[in-house]
Amino acid sequence: MDELVAACQADLQALAPRADAVPLERAATRLVDHWREPHRTYHGIHHLAEMLAVLGRLAADDALTPPQLLACRVAAWLHDAVYDVTAEPGANEEASAALAVELLDELDAEVDLIEQVAGLVHATAEHGPTTDPVHAAFLDADLWILGAPADRFDEYCRQVRDEYPAVPDDDYRTGRSRILEALVERPHIYATPGARTAWEAAARDNVRRELARLA
């Protein structure tokens, strides 16, 4: 079996232990196929791997219990499963959350776990402030890239631009600047204490540098 499919299947099986092997492999294959779509230069396997790694770091810092980490890992597999660059704002997140409900229901996962995972996926549409510790850790992991080392952050900026080849430069600069400005205007980019300590200063430096490039 493909190693990535096997890794996805293992997380799905841990969340939905009543599921049989065949539907588990089918669901995992479907998700991995989404992540390997050729138009994804940033929102692909590398981003997913980084997010899963960061979730492990946050769990090691006691930001997540093992059951919470599992829910976040499954949500990570699902959170950008639908990624259409022509979609209206929020539509990809809505569709990915709907896919989470569909797949996990087919795998006979517990209803409360399905709702938790879908809620995490849906939360990535706004990345708004939250007091829920699981949402906080999940959203921080998704935004880790902002506080990445400068060369990785700069690569990320190029990758995101490459995902929108049909958007004129002026329109891209305007839209991207609006998103980044909203982040640095917040009191904190990250919600968990560990993420703030580790990445907040670097994220603000990185984002300000990108805003200067976009100006």
Residue-wise pLDDT tens digits, 79-123: 999 999 999 999 999 999 999 999 999 999 999 999 999 999 999
End-to-end CA distance of the chain: 47
Q: In this predicted structure, what is the pLDDT of residue 131?
A: 84
Q: Please report which residue ranges of 36-168 form alpha helices under DSSP H.
A: 45-60, 66-79, 91-106, 111-123, 133-142, 150-162
How far is it, in rounded angstroms, from Cα 17 to Cα 199? 35
Q: Are 147 and 199 in contact (CB under 8 A)?
A: yes
Q: In this predicted structure, what is the pLDDT of residue 182?
A: 93
3-state SS assignment for residue 191: coil
Type of residue numbered 103? L
Residue numbers of the chain with a pLDDT score lower than 70: none
Q: Are 82 and 95 in contact (CB under 8 A)?
A: yes
